[in-house]
Every structure is written in structure tokens, then in C-alpha cells.
Amino acid sequence: MQDQYVLPLVDISKMQSPHLADRLEVAADLDQACKDIGFLYLKGDQFNFAYAKSLVELAKSYFEQDLDTKMQHYIGKSSNHSGYVPIGEEQFAGNSYDLKEAYDVNYDYQGSRTDCPLLGPTLWPAYPNFKTIVSQYYGHLRTISEQIFAAFALALGVKEDFFADKINDAPSQLRLIHYPYNPDIKDAEGIGAHTDYECFTLLLPTAPGLQVLNKAGEWIDIPLIENTLVMNIGDMMEILSNGKYLATKHRVKKVSEERYSFPLFCTCNYDTVIEPVVHTNDSKYKPLIGGEHLFNQTAQTFQYLKQRIASGELVLKNAVPLSSFGLNEKAEAAS
């Protein structure tokens, strides 16, 4: 790790090493960064940033289309919560909404299971090279995420392959997010304060704007570092670590320039029981079903799912309120 940055910088190159000592070195750096803040920069020989460049160029051209064209693949038409997300679709709190549009790509599941609302074939737009370029980036990062899961297993003191059979059909979602610049909007945020629901997130941003709530209760700006991704801990890893790592609240302030952001939310298989990986008598968390938690949190923010709940068409089971994890309100109030 290096200390001259706002966040820790962890090099995961040695996760490809055949030597356990090298992989343990990465795990120790990851462990320290996640205990300290829960947000960090990642770099490594694994990353192919040519794939990232192609994804950014594709997103810029895709979002330039008119709204009617984009709405042909509205997320509410999909079977697995994939598709176009218009401005105003998401609300994290109250009646405010985020000033962003997105295209959400879920794991393009081709199996026979139909009882999980986040599993199924992705709703792909009829846009040149969209599926090819997005799938290339998704597959690339998903492979790297498997190495990161192995590093977390080492950091948490369990077998290195602990997560291997828990992530093979995971509904990990990639979002292509566009924050338009609107100088006439005074106060609205690009995205409100929240924690991510999954285990961890791998984020590729194109411009500043991201802020993180540190453990002192202060919002800090996260600058860009070329050829790195930003990583953060989510709700599920907080539980898996029994609170050793905390899901970290973050937000995107009002953007001062057009901005794109590409988070891959890395999670476990739908039916995985999320509980502390080391069983002790002082477990701080009740077990939950990974996919159920992910869908419950999603359904509390998307308008089309809220409408189904209001009509009785959709009933959530075992849902917890948004922002149930991470720093408590007392710490946040100090910001």
C-alpha cells in the first residue's frame, strides 16, 4: 500500500502468483485498507484498461440517443432487473431523486431457474456492439473479482477457495451510469448517500464527484488516479466479516462536468446464506439470504418495483431498511 493518497492503494498483481506467501501479502494489504476505511484504490497487472476505454466510448454514444429510443429497453420491462434506467427512477430517501441515468446489466443467466427475480437473460439494447463491449468488460472484471474474493477469504482466515462455489452464478450487476451536467440545478446530488448492498464494488469513474463518509464522520472527496479502480465494502461483506469491515456510505455530489461511472457490484449466489464466515458466540449479525437482501434493497429504491409493492403484486420478505449498515447516524451527523 501507499500512504500519499486520500485512500489506500492496494496492488493485487500478486494474487496471480503461484506462491501462497505472495497472495497472503495482498490479503494483508486488503485487510488493512478495509479495516481502516472500507474504500481503496486497486491496481494490478490483471487489469486491461483498453476494455475500460471501449466501455466509456460506448456509453458516451449510447446515452446520446433520445429518451424514447432508450426507453424501448426500460428496466421495468425485463425479467431480471436489467435495462435502461431514466433520470428520476431511483430514490434513496424521501421525494428526492438522483440526477443520473443508467443502463443496468445483470449476470446474463441462461439457466433454467426462474424463481429468482435477479436471475435471467439480460435485456440487451439493439445498439451496435453494446452487448459485445459490455460483456467483454463484465467478464474481465468478474474474473478479477474471483481473485479478490480469494484474497478476502485469506484475510478472514478461512480456506482460500471458501467463496469459489458461492459466486459461480452470482447476480453481480454492472451499471453504466451517466451524470449529465446541468448548471441550472443548484442543490441536487448526482446520487444520494448510501451503502452498496453486495460484498464489494469495483468502480471505474471518468471524473471527480465521488465522496466517502470516513470514520470521523467527514465527507471526503475521492480524486481520480489513472489506471486504477475504486473499491468499496458493501453490506454483505460487513456481515461476512462480522463487522471487521464496515460498509461505507458514499455519494456523488452535484457534478461540475459531465460524468460517467461504471460500478460492478460483486455478490454471492442468490441462495447463499450471508453470515459471519468464522462462527463465534459474539456474532453481531443475523444471517440473511444474499439474493433476497439484494432484491429487497433494490425494490426500495426503484419506482417500478415500488409501484408493484404498493399494488400488492410484489411482497418483500425479511426486508431491512435502507442504510441499515455502515456508520451509524451519530457519526454521520458529525459531518
pLDDT tens digits, residue range 18-55?
999 999 999 999 999 999 888 999 999 999 999 999 99
Q: Is the pLDDT of residue 176 over 70?
A: yes
Beta bridge pairs of residue 265: 173, 201
Report how far residue 314's alpha carbon sits from residue 297's, in angstroms, rounded to the nearest whole number: 13
Quickly tell me which residue has 443502463 as its cell: 103
Nearest partner of 291 among 264, 316, 313, 310, judged by Cα = 316
Mean pLDDT (the chain, rounded): 87
**What value does the mean pLDDT take over residues 149-175?**
96
Q: Would you put residue 255 in left (φ > 0), alpha (ψ -120 to 50) or beta?
A: beta
**94: its cell numbers:** 424521501
Annotation: CATH topology of 9-333 = Jelly Rolls (2.60.120)
Q: The whole model's pTM is what?
A: 0.90
E strand or H helix at 84, and its extent?
A: strand 83-85
CA dist 335 and 328 (Å) reads 12
What SS3 class is residue 299? helix
Q: Which residue would you say has higher pLDDT here, 316 or 170?
A: 170
* Share in percent of the chain as helix, strand, coil (round to 5): 30, 20, 50
pLDDT, tens digit (0-9, with 9 covering 90-100), for 229-258: 999 999 999 999 999 998 888 787 766 678
Provide the residue count of the chain. 335
203 touches 232 (CB < 8 A): yes
Give the E-state strand segments of 180-328 in sequence order: 191-194, 200-205, 210-213, 219-221, 229-233, 250-252, 259-266, 273-274, 288-289
Q: Which three cell numbers stand for residue 221?
A: 472527496
- What's the CA angle centered on 294, arms 305 and 259, to 5 degrees? 80
Q: How far is CA 160 from the centre of its chain?
A: 23
Q: How far is the first Cα of the chain from the last one, in angstroms, to the nearest whole number?
A: 27
Grid coordinates given for 104: 443496468
Contacts of 156 (CB under 8 A, 6+ apart): 162, 240, 241, 244, 277, 278
Q: Which of 304, 332, 236 is nearest to 83 (CA)?
A: 304
* pLDDT score of 225: 93
**135-160 per-position pLDDT tens digit:** 999 999 999 999 999 999 999 999 99
Confidence (pLDDT) at 99: 78
DSSP code at position 90: B
H/E stretch holding 9: strand 9-11
CA distance 134 to 128: 11
Cβ proximity of 298 and 243 under 8 Å? no
Between the CA atoms of 32, 226, 264 and 15, what dihedral angle is there, to the nearest 10 degrees? Answer: -50
Torsion from C-alpha of 291, 297, 301, 307, nearest 10 degrees: 70
At 279, is the secondary structure helix, strand, or coil? coil
Q: Which of 67, 69, 58 is nearest to 105 (CA)?
A: 58
More confident call, 79 vs 57? 57
